[in-house]
Structure 1
Amino acid sequence: MAEIFFRYLHFIGIMSLASTLVMQHLILSSQVTKEQLKKIAFIDIIYAISAGLTLIAGLSLWLWVGKDASFYSTNWVFHLKLSIFVLIALLSIYPTIFFIKSKNSNEENVKIPKVIIMLIRMELALVFLVPILGALIAQGSGLK
């Protein structure tokens, strides 16, 4: 029962993570209003919570419940999936810092640097690779 619970949490985390990135992508443009920026910053908080939930549930599945940890630890596809997750987290740092600093701006319109938009797009592209890698792992692909 614990395995099903953590698999479900992992699934909810992944879906929330992807959803928040899509929402940010849809709202972002080269210039946003102060109100839009506050929405983006709030969505970014939900994004961080989703990433944390995904990480905690994923680590639980890897180390404590479900298949033996060696099933994952010896699978190169799992390591690729984990590396992509870490890369997504690293790519999200700069946009998050920008949103936190800019949401309290006195400006009515805030110019969004192109690099922020590109980082969000890169995260979005990478996050859609993670589920297929998860499916390959579950199928047993990439073992040894």
Structure 2
Amino acid sequence: MSSLFAFLHHIAAFVLISALAIELVLLRETLSLTIARKLRAADMVYGIAAGVVLVVGLIRVFYLEKGPSYYFSNVPFMIKLTLFIMIALLSIYPTREFLSWRRFLGKGRAPVMSAGTVQRLKMIVHLELFAAATLILCAVLMARGVGSV
């Protein structure tokens, strides 16, 4: 059971990173109806993957692996958890922006975004990807027993 949940956790994490990378690539394109729909879909996949990562990760921490006392006393794990929360908070702005397009997309029109909004979205997705890469480094350190008290 532990191996299955580890597998699910890793697959969801890979999907999450992939969805963010897709968002970044799509944000470099001219915003059209098709691109807007793809951005919303990528963001939805990202949200679902983040939920799976969180739920499966918590199940692993509390029921399948070394137990919460080990993890919550491990410095890389605490940094990893903090980064996950930071990524979640950063994702609020892009998700709200993409959800605000519903009216446009329902009418078959591309939404309109200012250059400043596009730049903010790109910057946020870059920050999310950087934080995710740092999170992965913390996962490796944690797996190697670094930072255990």
Tell me whether the two structures share a fold, i.e. TM-score over 0.5: yes
Scaled by the length of structure 1, the TM-score of the pair is 0.92
Conservation of the 8 A alpha-carbon contact between 1:25 and 1:120 = yes
Conservation of the 8 A alpha-carbon contact between 1:62 and 1:68 = yes
Q: Which amino acid is 1:123 matched to?
A: E
Which structure has greater strand proportion?
1
1:31-70 alignment, distance < 5 Å: 31-70=30-69
Q: Which amino acid is 1:80 matched to?
A: I
Conservation of the 8 A alpha-carbon contact between 2:79 and 2:135 = no
Conservation of the 8 A alpha-carbon contact between 1:31 and 1:109 = no
How many residues in Structure 1 have an aligned counterpart in Structure 2?
A: 143
**Offset, 1:29:** 2.9
Q: Which amino acid is 2:134 matched to?
A: L
**Offset, 1:30:** 7.3
Superposed CA offset, 1:93-119 (max 9, x none) = 010010011243265463251211111
Conservation of the 8 A alpha-carbon contact between 2:29 and 2:35 = no
Distance 2:22 2:110 in 1: 21
Conservation of the 8 A alpha-carbon contact between 2:39 and 2:98 = yes
Conservation of the 8 A alpha-carbon contact between 2:19 and 2:42 = yes
1:111 aligns with 2:113: yes
Any stretches of 5+ residues in structure 2 without a counterpart? none
Distance 1:108 1:4 in 2: 44
CA RMSD of aligned residues (A): 1.5
Distance 1:12 1:119 in 2: 23
4+ residue runs over 6 A deviation? none
Any stretches of 5+ residues in structure 1 without a counterpart? none
- Taking only the aligned residue pairs, the percentage that are identical comes to 30
Aligned twin of 1:75: 74
Distance 2:144 2:110 in 1: 51
